[in-house]
């Protein structure tokens, strides 16, 4: 068995990584919005090129957190 303190530490670390990734996602989204508004058609084209990658990354972050929580719920 794994020591409870280690499990608590890992849970806190994963939560910190999740919150950090959400913070950076919001910052990237704000940056993309500023690029879309302030630049000409070239900026809009860049945002349209980056948007699918941003959405895929965000979905991966949410799915990873959800899968971890489901596994935690299943094994309790």
Give long-range contacts, CB 8 A cutoff, 24+ apart: 58-65. Answer: 58/25, 61/18, 61/21, 61/22, 61/25, 65/14, 65/18
Does the pLDDT at position 72 exceed 90? no
Q: How confident is the model at residue 27 (pLDDT cuts 50, 70, 90)?
A: very high
Average pLDDT over residues 36-49: 84
């Amino acid at each position: 068995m794994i020591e409870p303190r280690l499990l608590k530490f890992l849970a806190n670390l994963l939560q910190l990584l999740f919150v950090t990734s959400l913070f950076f996602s919001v910052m990237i989204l704000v940056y993309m919005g500023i690029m879309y508004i302030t630049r000409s058609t070239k900026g809009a084209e860049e945002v349209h090129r980056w948007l699918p990658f941003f959405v895929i990354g965000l979905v991966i972050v949410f799915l990873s957190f959800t899968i971890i929580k489901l596994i935690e719920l299943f094994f309790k």
